Amino acid sequence: MLSIPSMRNLDILQHYLKNSWRYLLKDKRFTLLNLIGLSTGLACTLLISIWVRNELRFDKFHEKDDQLYEVMIHEKAGNRIATSNGTGDYVGETLLKDLPEVEAAVITTPASWFQKFSLSAGSTTIGASGNFVSHDYFNAFSVPLIHGQTDEVLTNKNSIAISQALAIKLFRKPEHAIGKVLEWKWQAYSGKCLVTGIFADFPANSSQQHDFLLSMDAWNQIVPKGDVQTSSGPFDNFVVLKKGTDINQINKKLSGFAETSFNDSTSTLFLRKYSDAYLFGNYENGIQTGGKITNVRLFSGIAIIILLVACINFMNLSTARASLRVKEVGVKKALGARRATLVFQFLSESMVMSFVALVIAVLLTSALLPQFSAITGKALAFQFDIKMILMILGAALLTGLLAGSYPAFHLSRFNPAITLKGGLTSSVGEILVRKGLVVFQFTVSVVFIIAVMVVYRQIRYVQEKSLGYNKDNIVYFEMNGRVAEQPESFLTQLKSVPGVINASSIQQKIILPAMLPGNGAGVRWEGKNADDKIRFFRMPVNYDLIETMNIEIAEGRSFSKRYGNESASIVLNEASGKFWVQPLGML
Instruction: DSSP for 384-444, please give it.
Output: --HHHHHHHHHHHHHHHHHHHHHHHHHHHT--HHHHHTT-----HHHHHHHHHHHHHHHHH
Number of domains composing the chain = 3
Residue 140: pLDDT above 90? Answer: yes
Residue 47 domain boundaries: 3-57+294-425
Same domain, 92 and 223: yes
Same domain, 223 and 313: no
Q: Given this model, what pLDDT does residue 514 score?
A: 45
Same domain, 21 and 101: no
Per residue in 456-479, pLDDT (tens digit) is: 888 888 777 777 787 788 888 777
Distance CA 137, CA 133 (A): 6
Q: Given this model, what pLDDT does residue 65 score?
A: 94
**Mean pLDDT throughout 6-34?**
63
463 part of a folded domain = no
Per residue in 402-444, pLDDT (tens digit) is: 777 766 666 666 666 555 555 555 555 556 766 777 787 788 8
Range in 85-94, 135-144, 247-256, 439-448 with the lowest mean pLDDT: 439-448
485 part of a folded domain = yes
442 part of a folded domain = no
Distance CA 213, CA 203 (A): 16
Same domain, 132 and 267: yes
Q: Given this model, what pLDDT does residue 43 score?
A: 92
Same domain, 313 and 408: yes
Same domain, 493 and 350: no
Of 425, 449, 465, the residue at which a domain comes to its end is 425
Q: Given this model, what pLDDT does residue 52 score?
A: 93
Same domain, 362 and 266: no
Distance CA 100, CA 249 (A): 12
For a pLDDT cut of 70, what percent of the chain falls above it?
79
- Confidence class of residue 486 from pLDDT cuts 50, 70 and 90? confident
344 vs 452, higher pLDDT: 452
Range in 197-201, 293-297, 336-340 with the lowest mean pLDDT: 336-340
Q: Given this model, what pLDDT does residue 438 score?
A: 76
3-state helix, strand, coil in the chain (%, to 5): 45, 15, 40
Single pTM value for the model: 0.78
Count Cα neighbours of 471 within 13 Å in the Cβ-side half-sphere: 9
Same domain, 46 and 92: no
**Mean pLDDT throughout 355-362?**
88
Q: Given this model, what pLDDT does residue 145 score?
A: 93
482 part of a folded domain = yes
Same domain, 135 and 272: yes
85 part of a folded domain = yes
430 part of a folded domain = no
Same domain, 225 and 357: no
- What 3-state class would DSSP assign to 565? coil
Q: Given this model, what pLDDT does residue 516 score?
A: 47
523 vs 557, higher pLDDT: 557
Of 277, 311, 336, the residue at which a domain comes to its end is 277
pLDDT, mean over the chain: 81
365 part of a folded domain = yes
Same domain, 35 and 97: no
- What 3-state class would DSSP assign to 189? strand
Residue 38: pLDDT above 80? Answer: yes
Work out the burial of residue 546: count CB atoms within 10 Å of its CB; fewer than 13 is exposed, 13-18 middle, 19 or more buried: buried
For a pLDDT cut of 90, what percent of the chain falls above it?
32
Per residue in 368-388, pLDDT (tens digit) is: 999 999 888 888 888 777 877
Range in 106-120, 234-248, 265-279 with the lowest mean pLDDT: 106-120
**Mean pLDDT throughout 201-205?**
92
Residue 8: pLDDT above 80? Answer: no
Q: Given this model, what pLDDT does residue 511 score?
A: 62
Range in 15-29, 410-424, 452-466, 561-575 with the lowest mean pLDDT: 410-424
Distance CA 472, CA 454 (A): 26
Q: Say if residues 322 and 122 touch (Cβ distance below 8 Å).
A: no
Same domain, 34 and 154: no
